[in-house]
Each structure stands twice: as C-alpha cells, then as structure tokens.
Amino acid sequence: MADDDFDLEALKASVARAAPRPDPATRAAHLRAAQESFAASQESPGRARQGSERPGTGLWTGVREMIDRLTGRGALTLTTALVACGLLVLTPAGRGLWQPGPRITAPATGSDMPATAAVPAGDTVLPAPEAAPASPAAAAPPADAMPEMATGAFARMTGAAGPAAPAPFIAAPENSLWMPEQSRDSFANAPANPLQVTAENPVSTFSIDVDTASWSLVRRSLNFGALPPPDAVRIEEMVNYFPYAYPAPEGDAAFRPTITVMPSPWNPGTQLVEIGIQGRMPATADRPPLNLVFLIDTSGSMDAPDRLPLLKAAFRLMLTQLRPEDRVAIVTYAGSAGVALEPTPAGEAATITAALDTLAASGSTAGQAGLSQAYAVARQMAGDGDVTRVILATDGDFNVGPSSTAELESFIARARDSGVFLSVLGFGRGNLNDALMQALAQNGNGTAAYIDTLAEAQKVLVDQLTGTLFPIASDVKVQVEWNPATVAEYRLIGYETRALERADFNNDRVDAGDLGAGHTVTAIYEITPVGSPAVLVDPLRYGPGAAPGEESDELGFLRLRWKTPGEGESRLLETPIRAGDAGARPEDAGFAAAIAGFGQLLRGPDWTGDWSWDDALALAAASRGDDPYGYRSEALALMRIAATLADGGR
Amino acid sequence: MVTSDEDLALAAARGDGAAFAALVGRHYDRLFALAWRLTGERAEAEDLTQDICLALPRKLAGFRGEARVTTWLYRVAVNAAHDRRRRRATHARAADGWGDWEIARTEAAAEDRARLDWLTAAMRELPDDLRDTLALTLDDLTQAEVAQVLGVAEGTVAWRVSEAKKKLRAIRAREEA
C-alpha cells in the first residue's frame, strides 16, 4: 500500500469481508422476540378480547402451533405455501392491499387507537359481540367475510398444500398468516430401542431417569389440540411422571426393586417385565438445611403469562414448603446477571416474596454469566451438611456467549463435584431448548421438569419437593442379563437417551441418574419367551443354539448399582427375575403399561400392532386405582384427546 | 416493486403485526451488520441486535414518517448501543472479581480479536464516537444522514471521519513498526 491515506471504499470492503453473517437460528429467535415485543406493545390493559386467542400468546403462535402439528411433507408444502403468501403481499398488487384492507383501517371507532393487531381480523367484521365465536373451531372466519388479501392467500395455500393441509389451517387464528416460522423447540431424543436377540446380546444397561419433562410437553401439546412431535415423547419420562405405590424399602436400605411380569397388552405372544424402584422416604423432620439459589431468566421472552408470572406463583408455592432455617437467594439474568436477593432465611417470607414481585422481564439473555453468579452465591451459602442446589428457571435458549454447550456441561459437572447441584425448570413454549435443559440437569445431578401449569408446579415443587431436592442414591445404574434359555428376544421401552455401555455398569466414574427421596422409577421391558409365536428373528442356522444345560426358570438377572450421595464407591444389589414375579399392585403395573403403550403410539405404532388408542385408554381406565392427586385422571383425559386427534387424521 | 419501508413502518406503527414482521425481517441483516461494526464482536452484536428488536415496537409508535426508515432504524440501533455500553460499564464494576469464568471469557474474546482482520480490530480501538460515525459511514449513508442519525452537525461528521482515518493510519503505522 503506497497510499498513505485511508480509502473509505477499501475500508468498507475490508470490513464487509470480516463481517460475520447472522446465525439463522439466532436471527429467527430475534425476529420472534421482536414480534412478541410488538404484540405486547399492542396490548392495552382492560380492552376486552373478542378472539379465541389466549392473551399473550404472541401473533405468530397460531401458525407455529399449526405447523407443529403437521408433519413431514404436509408441513414442508405448507411452509412453502406460506412463503409464497409472504411474497404475495410484497408484490405491486400486495402494496395497495396494505392500505384499504380492514386490518389497517380497522379501528371501528375511527379514533387514533392502534389497529387491533392482537384481535383476529375475522372478528372485526363480525356484526355484534354476541356473535363472537365460543369454540376455537367456530373461530374460523367464514371465507367470504375475510379480507381479500387473506382469501387470496388461502386460495394459494389450498392449491399448494393439497387437500389435507387447509383443514387445520383454517382453524388457526387467521391474523397469523404471514410469518412462516417453525417452532424452535428442540428436543432430546434418540431412535427407539431396537429389538435384541437374547442369544446375541443378553445384557441391557441403562441409567435411571427421574425426569418428567416429557410428560408435561406432551400434555401441553395435546391441550393445544395437536399431537406432540414424536421426538418430544420420551416414554420413560411419561411412565415415571406417575407415582406408583411399590413396596417400601426395609430397614435403612436406600431403595427396593419390585419386579412384575405380566402379559403384554399389545401383543399376545410377548410379556412385559416391569422393574419398579422405590426410594426410601426419610423422616422429613431430620432433613438437612437447604440452600437454594433460584436462577431466574428475566429476558424479554419470559414476559408471557405462562412464563415469569407462572414462575413467580410456582416459587411462592414452594416457599411454603421450606423451613425457617433454609436459605434462599435469587439471581437473575437478562442482559447482565445480578443478585436480586442476597441469601435470606426462608423464615423471612415477606422479604423473599417482595424480591420475587419486583422481577420483570426485559432485555436479552446472558445465560452463562447468570449461571456463574448463581454458583458463586451457592458456594458462599454452602455450609457443613447442607444441601445446596441451584434451581434454574428458563424458557429456553441459553445465550452461552463464547462457550459451547460442552463447556457449559463441564462447568456444571465440576460444580457438581464440589457439592452444588443443579435442577432445571422449563417454562413456556416456542423456543424451549429441551435438549440443553436435559444436558444441564443430567450433568448437575438434578432433574429437569417442565412447568406448564400451576398444578404442575404444585406437583414438582410441593408434593414431590423432598424427592426433587434430596438425593438418596446417586449414579443409579440398571443392568439386566436375560436368560437365553427362557427369553428369545427383548426390548427396553424408552430410556433411549439413558443407554449405557455394558462396561459402564461397573465403572464408578461413569455418571448416571440420581434417585430422590421417595421417588419411584419404573423401567419396562417387552420380552418374547422362547417358543412364542411372536418371535421375530429366526435362529441362526450356524449359531451356537440355545444352551440346553442351563436348567433355570429365571427370565433374567437384575443388577443395580448406586452410590450413597457423597461417596465415591458404588454398591451392588442383585435379584433374579422369575416368570411368576408379581410384586406391584395390578393397578400400578397396568397403568404403567398403559402409559408405555400410549407413549409408543405417540412415537409411531411400530411395536404395538393393532393395539389402538382406545385400548390404551381402556387399560388406563381399568388401572386408575385410587389416584389421590388426580394425575391418572388427567392422563385419561389427555389420552382421550390424543385418540380423537389421531382418528381425526394426521 | 415492493411495499416501501415507509408504508410498512407506518402500517406497523398503526399496529399491523404483519407489516412489522416484514419490516424487521427485511432489515435484520443490515442491523446485524451495523451492530457488528459498532461492537466488533459477534456475541455482543447478537445481543445488541436483540435489544434493538425488542425496543423497536415501542420506538415505532413514535415513527411519523419524517425520516427515511433506514435513518430512523439506525438511530434506534445507535441508541441501543449506547444503552448497552452504559449498562456494561456498570456491570463490569459490579462483576469485578467474580469467577474465573469471566476471565476465561475475556481471554477467549482476546484470541478471537487476534484472528480478525486488523482493520476491524483497529476500529475497536477508536473512541466510541469515532467508531459510531465510521460504522455508519461504511453503510452507504451520506454524511448528512449520518449526522441525522447521530444528532450532530454535518461538519462534525466530516471532522470525525477524518479524525478516524488519522487514528487508523496511526494504528497501522504502529502495527507495521
């Protein structure tokens, strides 16, 4: 460069070269945040809503939800159609349409009030309030009453998406026509466990899983009127959502396994082996003091009724369960992290409630800064014999800054080794990062729960608080060796994300799930006895054949490894599995089987044959039992919804 | 031809969510690029762009169509950047001394910096006002428009640009020495 001056054009080119491209996912998140912020800015308090849209769902929720419920080609085609529709309004013809349509000149009052973007446009042309539709289905505006532009869009949509797509679309609030946005919920899952031939691979190893987040996600989706995405379905979490009254451990054993063998409801030639583990319920009177650090995401996206306000209500519920000597601190993160409440004894409820009340959502997310600060506060609170736990409440993406998820996980794992555990509570829907939540909680020796209603908060934070917060056994691993003389094939239902290598079982350095006080964990195998007509895999012609010498009626052998919390060395518990085992009450065994079957139907009926939604419902109804909290009744209601949705045709 | 920015912005200001979505979608990439020039770091730029996205709806209520939409958007962006710097300064004081993590993060950012084109790195050494001015000038805005965005006189912009060039030249001389 001979030229000594700075050529602005050269500088411009150089800077343009160095400039990064926006990350598509971040871009989508920002655009959605903008839209939510826009919707929020349009809501004036006190204005009666005429639409069927719930408050605060944001403008694009309808379309997002709708796309969620479509799968495969249908969704792709429809997405394309929506893009075409987006182009339509930007064409010369579209330009004029910005002006005359009822959307823009909408205020019927003729005042300068902002046009009612939060109200479905269809409603603005309805003659009188009493004509306002009551049910979501009726909310679909008649086509001839819709603005011209929207009708055109529908016509294109119908043409492009084929006859299957428009039906659910019309039921969606029509003001959400423009933005073709996929939900950014991401789920942790793996392909369903394959069938194993006992002679080839007799040993099955996995870590227990006490999370229940998947059930809540399924519930939320069904309550919205859509079958959940198959990847959101983790069957073991659905089964483990429900408490089962397995026999309590005797003496001071940490837990007790219960084995039940029963005919499989969906395949006459196979059997189910249910392994239930009941954790001890220590006398709550002598529990150690608790140090809780609430790490609360107060970024802008938490500003929706099912997020921050629900979170506050949930924590208020939880406070009632704490003792005066427990201590609570609150750290928030949004833009920058900060301590909203210094460590405070739970006895000072007024102070804590006041601090909760002042939390407001705004700004962007600085996840890792918040996490670091929460851990710093937790370390400062930790005392001898205390149980210290960070409880992260968030609606989704952690903006982890320069670090990767792996770094975040190792950060949490290091903190775990120093005795500070992490639990994760998920809120809201749309950008929930289920996979990250799972990863964080699994590394933090904690549970991930998804809070969608106050009733769920009651379950997780009040009814089962002791189990959520006090581990009684760490790194609990399950290994089952099946007997090739009696079991031809087996399949573990669920636990795909928890599979372990066979050698991991005896390796105490390999982390596994923790069992909380009073928790129950259930694992279900479907087995095909030797000689059953249901055997799928033919024996090898040149294989070793069944070992005839081993005369045993045992189906298999169950081994459990666990550590007493704080200890490094694991203990072993062994027990045979026999064909006649029937340890669980029939209503518990039957209900668990019904939920496992329901989960498999939701994931796709590969293994359940002709067994129908109604069969699942009938089995669950017959096994409801006493159901003191109403969890099982709720499940029945959801199964009915799923049956209707599935029959209505995907 | 497409609906003009101005029509979209006015419709959005009247509460049309679809117009708002179209407007933000159209300008997102430019805003991000500007955010990056203002901050010089990807993560910072992402956070700043999000701030802008969140702030736009409220600001939009005040859009009357007197200025070009880009000019107006850039004003929102520059203000958001100023807010961020202020908050950061406060936060940096408050965060003094907590955690190895913050140190590690800063170190990682420093490495990142070394990899970048030196010009961009040099831009980061400029004082905030010079960098803001340069960041806008590099986006096809006329000096008059830059002046409008920053709320200063046109002469000030011209002086700042020449001042920025002078400093960049000095930095280059230092690097080459």
Q: What is the CATH number of the domain that holds B84?
A: 1.10.1740.10
Of A170, A51, A58, A62, the residue nearest A121 (C-alpha): A51
Instruction: Identify whether residues B91 and B112 lie together within a single domain.
Output: no
How close A395 comes to chain B (CA, Å)? Answer: 16
Question: Can you tell me whether residue A433 is helix, strand or coil?
Answer: strand
Tell me: the pLDDT tens digits for A261-303? 999 999 988 999 999 999 887 766 677 788 889 888 887 777 7
Instruction: Identify whether residues B51 and B82 lie together within a single domain.
Output: yes
Does the pLDDT value for residue A324 go beyond 80? yes
CATH number of the domain encompassing residue B124: 1.10.10.10
Does the pLDDT value for residue A477 go beyond 90? yes
* Per-residue model confidence (pLDDT) at position A263: 93
Rounded average pLDDT over A234-256: 88
Could A336 and B87 be called an inter-chain contact, meaning their C-beta atoms sit closer than 8 Å? yes
Could B57 and A115 be called an inter-chain contact, meaning their C-beta atoms sit closer than 8 Å? no
Question: Where residue A143 falls among pLDDT bands split at 50, 70, 90?
Answer: very low
Instruction: Identify whether residues B24 and B95 lie together within a single domain.
Output: yes
* Per-residue model confidence (pLDDT) at position A362: 67
Q: What is the assigned CATH class of domain A196-282+472-538+553-647?
A: mainly beta
Instruction: Identify whether residues B93 and B74 lie together within a single domain.
Output: yes
| Token pair in block for residue A240 | 């483990």
φ, ψ (nearest 5 deg) of residue A422: -130, 130
φ, ψ (nearest 5 deg) of residue A421: -100, 165
φ, ψ (nearest 5 deg) of residue A331: -120, 135
For the CA atoms of B111, B112, B118, B119, the dihedral, rounded to the nearest 10 degrees, stands at: -140
Instruction: Identify whether residues B11 and B85 lie together within a single domain.
Output: yes
* Per-residue model confidence (pLDDT) at position A397: 60
Q: Which residues of A touch B20 (CB under 8 A)?
A: 34-35, 38
Q: How far apart are the first and last CA of chain A?
A: 65
* Per-residue model confidence (pLDDT) at position A111: 39
> How is residue A548 annotated by DSSP?
T
The rounded distance, in Å, linking the Cα atoms of B4 and A384 is: 66
The rounded distance, in Å, linking the Cα atoms of A72 and A467 is: 40
Instruction: Please check whether residue A542 touches B, CB under 8 A.
Output: no
Instruction: Identify whether residues B22 and B95 lie together within a single domain.
Output: yes
Does A580 or A167 have the greater pLDDT score? A580
Nearest to A14 among B4, B91, B117 (CB): B117
Question: Can you tell me whether residue B39 is helix, strand or coil?
Answer: helix
* Per-residue model confidence (pLDDT) at position A451: 85
Considering only alpha carbons, which residue of chain A is nearest residue B18?
A: A178
Contact A279, A514 (CB under 8 A): no
Question: Where residue A99 falls among pLDDT bands split at 50, 70, 90?
Answer: very low
Contact A365, A401 (CB under 8 A): no
Nearest to A8 among B20, B123, B137 (CB): B137
In Å, what is the CA distance from A418 to each residue of A67, A411, A536? Answer: 44, 11, 49
Does the pLDDT value for residue A574 go beyond 70? yes
Q: Residue A499 corresponds to which amino acid?
A: A
Provide the β-strand partners of residue A271.
Answer: A263, A527
Contact A264, A270 (CB under 8 A): yes
Query: Rg of chain B over CA atoms, in angstroms?
Result: 18
Does A636 or A127 have the greater pLDDT score? A636
Rounded average pLDDT over A310-324: 83
Q: Which residues of B touch A375 (CB under 8 A)?
A: 99
| Token pair in block for residue A247 | 């026999």
Rounded average pLDDT over A570-584: 89
Q: What is the assigned CATH class of domain A285-452?
A: alpha beta
Q: Which residues of A touch B47 (CB under 8 A)?
A: 335, 364, 366, 399
Instruction: Identify whether residues B35 and B65 lie together within a single domain.
Output: yes
* Per-residue model confidence (pLDDT) at position A342: 87
How close A113 comes to chain B (CA, Å)? Answer: 8
Rounded average pLDDT over B80-87: 83
Residue at a domain's end among B99, B118, B151: B99
Instruction: Identify whether residues B127 and B159 lie together within a single domain.
Output: yes
Could A104 and B101 be called an inter-chain contact, meaning their C-beta atoms sit closer than 8 Å? no
Least confident of A81-95, A503-517, B8-22: A81-95
> How is residue A647 annotated by DSSP?
H
Q: What angle do CA A232, A615, A269 make, to 5 degrees?
A: 95
For the CA atoms of A320, A321, A324, A328, the dihedral, rounded to the nearest 10 degrees, stands at: -90
Chains A and B: how many Cβ contacts under 8 Å? 191
* Per-residue model confidence (pLDDT) at position A460: 81
Least confident of A143-152, A220-229, A254-263: A143-152
Spell out the domain ranges in chain A.
29-41+49-176, 196-282+472-538+553-647, 285-452
Does the pLDDT value for residue A441 go beyond 70? yes
Residue at a domain's end among B99, B132, B153: B99
pLDDT averaged over every residue in chain A: 73
In Å, what is the CA distance from A84 to each residue of A18, A33, B141? Answer: 33, 23, 32
Residue A238: Cβ-neighbour burial (10 angstroms; 0-12, 13-18, 19+): buried
% pLDDT > 90, chain A: 15
Tell me: the pLDDT tens digits for A40-79? 777 644 333 333 333 334 444 444 444 444 444 444 444 4
How close B18 comes to chain A (CA, Å)? Answer: 6
* Per-residue model confidence (pLDDT) at position A8: 73
For the CA atoms of A182, A188, A191, A194, the dihedral, rounded to the nearest 10 degrees, stands at: -160
Residues 6+ apart with CB under 8 A from A215: A237, A238, A241
Instruction: Please check whether residue B9 touches A, CB under 8 A.
Output: no
Instruction: Identify whether residues B74 and B127 lie together within a single domain.
Output: no
Q: Which residues of B touch A301 (CB under 8 A)?
A: none
Least confident of A95-99, A468-472, A619-623: A95-99
Q: Residue A641 corresponds to which amino acid?
A: I
Does the pLDDT value for residue A565 go beyond 80? no
Tell me: the pLDDT tens digits for A346-397? 888 888 888 888 887 766 556 677 788 888 888 888 776 777 888 888 876 6
* Per-residue model confidence (pLDDT) at position A112: 40
How close B151 comes to chain A (CA, Å)? Answer: 22
Beta strand extents in A244-379 (DSSP E only): 255-263, 271-279, 290-297, 327-334, 336-345
Respond yes or no on whether ipTM tops 0.90. no
Instruction: Identify whether residues B118 and B80 lie together within a single domain.
Output: no
Rounded average pLDDT over A398-418: 70
How many structural domains is chain B composed of? 2
Contact A35, A59 (CB under 8 A): yes
Instruction: Please check whether residue B11 touches A, CB under 8 A.
Output: yes
Contact A195, A526 (CB under 8 A): no
* Per-residue model confidence (pLDDT) at position A192: 80
Which of A8-12, A452-456, A523-527, B14-18 holds the top average pLDDT?
Answer: A523-527
The rounded distance, in Å, linking the Cα atoms of B52 and B34 is: 11
| Residue B127: CB atoms within 10 Å | 12
Residues 6+ apart with CB under 8 A from B60: A38, B9, B12, B13, B20
Write out residues 17-56 of A within 8 Å (CB-CB) of B. 17-20, 22-23, 26-27, 29-31, 33-35, 37-42
How close A59 comes to chain B (CA, Å)? Answer: 7
How close A23 comes to chain B (CA, Å)? Answer: 9
Could B101 and A372 be called an inter-chain contact, meaning their C-beta atoms sit closer than 8 Å? yes
* Per-residue model confidence (pLDDT) at position A141: 41
Does the pLDDT value for residue B116 go beyond 70? no
Nearest to A117 among B17, B88, B109 (CB): B17
Structural domain of B10 = 1-99
Q: Where do we find the tokens 């700075």? A: A6
Question: Where residue B114 falls among pLDDT bands split at 50, 70, 90?
Answer: low
Could A19 and B33 be called an inter-chain contact, meaning their C-beta atoms sit closer than 8 Å? yes
Instruction: Identify whether residues B50 and B21 lie together within a single domain.
Output: yes
Of B149, B118, B123, B117, the residue nearest B136 (C-alpha): B149
* Per-residue model confidence (pLDDT) at position B60: 83
Residue at a domain's end among B77, B99, B121: B99
Write out residues 64-83 of B within 8 Å (CB-CB) of A. none
Question: Where residue B61 falls among pLDDT bands split at 50, 70, 90?
Answer: confident
Could B22 and A178 be called an inter-chain contact, meaning their C-beta atoms sit closer than 8 Å? yes
Write out residues 79-118 of A within 8 Å (CB-CB) of B. 86, 89-92, 94-95, 98-99, 103-104, 114-117
Could A6 and B165 be called an inter-chain contact, meaning their C-beta atoms sit closer than 8 Å? yes
Nearest to A20 among B42, B51, B90 (CB): B42
